[in-house]
Amino acid sequence: MDIAIRSFVNGFPEFMIQGGVTLGLLITGCVVHVLLTPMKEMKLIKDGNISAGISVAAVIVGLAIPMTACLATANSIYDLLIWGVVAILLQLLAFRAADLLLRDLPRRIERDEIGSALVLAAVKLAAALVMAAAL
């Protein structure tokens, strides 16, 4: 029992730091994404737009997947920060790829075209899984 307690005491601060940094990256990535996309997802969600909700949910999960892989493989906080920022940038590129594929994706989300939102979600989740595996 003594070994378990010492292990906890020694590991808990690092756990809190790494978890906090990862959570900070996730929140930052979500905020950056919402600010940089042309549609105002939060307003659309408040107005009952299901497609905007799907889009934001895909952002959250699409960032959480590679962030957890970063957390699991990082050798240092700097490593975690570098790959976390890369994941955020690649998810922004995934939005752009879906926009190129569907043409005028922001307007489609605003018009609550659920099919377009689902394709966006699939692109984001697929990109997240590939990123996570590459880490």
Q: Which domain holds residue 60?
A: 2-134
**Cα 76 to Cα 7: distance, rounded to the nearest angstrom:** 19
The answer for 116, left when phi > 0, alpha when psi is -120 to 50, beta otherwise, is alpha
Model confidence at 1: pLDDT above 80? no
pLDDT digits (tens, 9 = 90+) for 7-54: 888 889 989 999 999 999 999 999 999 998 888 899 999 999 999 999
Q: What is the pLDDT of residues 42-93, one digit of tens each?
A: 999 999 999 999 999 999 999 999 999 998 998 899 999 999 999 999 989 9
pLDDT of residue 44: 96
What is the rounded end-to-end Cα distance, in angstroms, of the chain? Answer: 35
Token pair 């959250």: residue: 60
Question: How many folded domains does the chain comprise?
Answer: 1
pTM of the complete model: 0.88
